[in-house]
Structure 1
Amino acid sequence: MTITDSIELSILMPCLNEAETLAICIDKAQGYLRRSGIIGEVLIADNGSTDGSQQIAEDHGARVVDVAEKGYGSALIGGIESARGAYVIMGDADDSYDFSELDGFVERLRAGDELVMGNRFRGGIEPGAMPPLHKYLGNPVLSWIGRSLFRSPIKDFHCGLRGFNRQSMLALHLQTSGMEFASEMVVKSTLGGSRVSEVPTTLKKDGRSRPPHLRSWRDGWRHLRFLLIFSPRWLFLIPGISAFLIGLVGTVLLGFGPVVVGEVGFTYSSQIYLAALAVVGYQAFLFALLTKIYAQHEGFRIPRSRNFERLEKRISLESGAIVGVVLFLIGLGIAVSQLIGWAAGGYGELEAGATVRVAIPSALLMMLGSQTVMGGLFLGVLSVGLKRR
């Protein structure tokens, strides 16, 4: 039996200059292991401390692994890779979480859950432990967005105390280096179909005299950015389709003449903006589509749907080129017919409104056709790369 096989639990703490509170956190974790009879280790993922935290950790019986790449996520990724336990429970080394009370996490992990999150709103938040901005705005809003976008059952996305099956977590190939790592872990576990649960967790005021590493607005934005970018359906696909349809329908309607709604009239000036909206919306739609195809081809564990799989089978460099060329030729044909009509009239003066109303749909079709061809070419580039591997 190897060392890794004999250790059931690694209690992991990321550390950057936590000399004030590190010892008490390690002692609580060591006490829990002794009291519960669990064969385990306390692991400190040090991210470049200069206050002697490494020596404190070793003096109190913890194992220290140095992680050179800076960042909360980087420290934890390095710690997870170095952990020897089948399960890992991670938590901040600032004494805000109680490492002597981990039974709920171990129970759920032993029952087969692959990610067990602490929930501070169920367990209790002591006065002064969480800034009002985080308690009433940041955490609830970001957690709600995460639940809405990814259908996650987790109600506290950013609790720092959480446990997981080490092999399951390594299989997710976590990448983010900053505070958004907390969201990445939950999102990828949910999308990957992992068994996810929550247990009540108490949060108390940390024991440090210095300000926390967390920066509210900067790190909040990084969490939000990650959630949005990892959900192209809501960031690009749905807005893109909506913009494209509104722009396309409006451009076509105004091609037959001005439209009056109440006291407001829409003419070819509005048609120009609607055509631009259609182009932008179509580009967003293509980006979402190609992003999802790329993600699935690269092995990202994201939900698949029958509709998308049917669409994916029909999309190729050739089909994109054919559709794109047809759209472009239709637009070009309209432009040529205008030119012929102008020539037949002796290249005389044109009626601006009528000419522009026809020229805008023509230009729109040529732009959409060009975008479609280039999207097909990009898909072809992806396919060539996959064949090389």
Structure 2
Amino acid sequence: MIDWNVAVQTGTRLVRPGPQVGQAEAREVVAQLRELSRIAQGHVAEFTGMQAEASPAPATIVDRPGWIRANVDGFRVVLEPLMEQMAERRGTGLLGGGAGVVVQAVGSRVTGMQVGAILAYMASRVLGQYELFLPPDPSGRAPTGRLTLVAPNIVQVEKELGVDARDFRLWVCLHEETHRAQFTGVSWLREYVQDQMTQFLLASDLDPGALLDRLRDAADAIADAVRGGDSSLIDAIQTPEQREILDRLTAVMTLVEGHGDYVMDAVGPEVVPSVQQIRARFQRRREGGTRMDKTIRRLLGIDMKMRQYAEGSRFVHRVVAEVGMEGFNRVWDSAETLPTHAEIKEPALWMDRVLGPRAIEAANPDGRTSPDGRTSEADGA
């Protein structure tokens, strides 16, 4: 279904070059990012109270083509077993016989080119990520999970923003190390996310008529996005069952992204002295861009991810303000204590369901209230 070699070739050919730096500066950036990733581990553990893996490896530092190759490796780990299952379910009805083999081969190359083009666009934007399924292990026994930082993108953004380089690099590391703490410190979280992704992909409707409907919806979404609407390809191609699964996936990813955003800002100016300046300038950059760039972001669902950062951060801020970090960390107890999409938008619903009114009152014995009238241990929650 996807020719991964074509995806890598297309992506690495189309990706824009990063900022030009000398070899000495490049080596210094790589060394400092590795050092700062280790420093960030300690700050995240102390601030969040999460018990992550005992001796985590330093971050893996890559360039833009390296990020593309890493993502293709991760996609293959997740998607190839699912594609085999989907092919078995599909049987020979849609692509049977010798002609079907030819059509499938051509289609896989086209899809590989499409994936490569998307990765080329994303490779110049991503600062870092925690890769759940790398390094790949065919046996399934070795531990997986790798923190990756894209050095040229970090250097480019810090220069565009005109901020202190060390502060910005540590700020980015704090966000990504929070993701490492989440997925190594919460034993069930990785499996939960992978299971939801598996269900989402297997819920694809393979009926030819339904596929044509999805294609028409995708075309409408593209037209709407070009006109400035809010449509995205992700929404357009979903089946009804996938929409339910995606709602759960979106809720958990909003939580983990918002938690990362909250931690990177809340660790404090004693760790990142210029954090307020960095956040203000970075937020303006997030919201900017050309009309074409904004259209692509809407189509690929990047704007939705930006909303996840904001909604998730508000949820974490509100809950920590109400019940403290220990109370907030109840979100990691099990899949049942994760907030729903509705609860992220209204944290009081989650606190009432998981913690109960008594726990909230016990956390706020002085009876101070937040702006919406609920008791709070901190003003302005």
- TM-score norm. by structure 1 comes to 0.28
Q: Bigger radius of gyration, 1 or 2?
A: 1
- Relative contact order, CA 8 A, sep 6+: which one is greater? 2
Say which structure is richer in strand: 1
